Structure 1
Amino acid sequence: MTPAPIFDLRGLLIFLGLSVIIGGAASFATGRALATRWRPLWQALVYALGIAAMVRFLHYALFAEPLLSLEAYGLDFAAALGFMLAGFKLTRRHQMQQQYGAILARDD
């Protein structure tokens, strides 16, 4: 019996492809949409749960990974929330600079 590999390259590539690239793009766009429509930041948690469920289903449907894995879902949720917060914060910063540029300008 061979021992399980310590580093799973296939699993890492699947995670990067689905969770980071596809899920991250969807999450970043969702964060931008929330900020553009001046929605509160707490709504990002709800949307991140949905995107993480979608990504977890893609893992299950395309690569036969476990659907109901709490650890995997938590990792997908963390990735989705991180990208969503980045999209929200970058868009909100741009909105504030556009709206309140004269007030926020520094006198260096």
Structure 2
Amino acid sequence: MQGVLYEESSIGLFLLVSVIMGGAAAWASGKSIAQTWRPAWMVVPYMLILGMAVRFIHFALFEGTLLSGHYYVVDTILLLIAGGLGFRYKRTQQMTTQYRWLYEKTGPFSWRERSAANA
């Protein structure tokens, strides 16, 4: 997978910077966007900016390529997934907590309308 997903000599660096550090920042950003009741599409511009920051960390600390479109896209896709999941997790929590008479949780990322029998 080296050369396709990451350019470093070790997958550990990719996992540390892009998946763990970048993913945690994206998850927190997605949750913050949801917490302020912004729409889901707002995750995209924030993750595009965060993708640039992740590329910079690869460049500054591990001598990666700063202006690499390919690796920027790979990092940003991972961040979009993590940010989207964080957004959806928080929105599910909001909808089932603040409107508990209308909605019930069906999983960590989904909810449904309460039926009349459950209300």
TM range (shorter): 0.7 to 0.9
Q: Do the aligned partners of 2:34 and 2:87 also contact (CA within 8 Å) in 1? A: yes
Please, what is the CA RMSD of the aligned residues?
2.1
- The whole-number CA distance in structure 2 between the counterparts of 1:22 and 1:49 is 15
Letter in 2 for 1:12: I
Corresponding position of 2:50: 51
Query: Which structure 2 residues correspond to residues 25-40 of structure 1 after superposition, within 5 A?
Result: 25-40=24-39
Structure 1 runs, 4 residues or longer, greater than 6 Å off: none
Letter in 1 for 2:20: I
Asked whether 1:24 is paired with 2:35, we answer no
Of Structure 1 and Structure 2, which has the larger fraction of its residues in helix?
1
- The percent of aligned pairs where both chains have the same amino acid is 37
TM-score normalised per structure 1: 0.86
Of Structure 1 and Structure 2, which has the larger fraction of its residues in strand?
2
Corresponding position of 1:99: 98
What number of residue pairs does the alignment pair up? 103
Corresponding position of 1:76: 75
Q: Do the aligned partners of 2:43 and 2:84 also contact (CA within 8 Å) in 1? A: yes
Letter in 2 for 1:26: A
Say which SS state the counterpart of residue 66 (structure 2) adopts. Answer: coil
Corresponding position of 1:88: 87
Q: Deviations over 1:2-53 (max 9, x none)?
A: xxx9xx8843211100001111111000000000000111111100011110
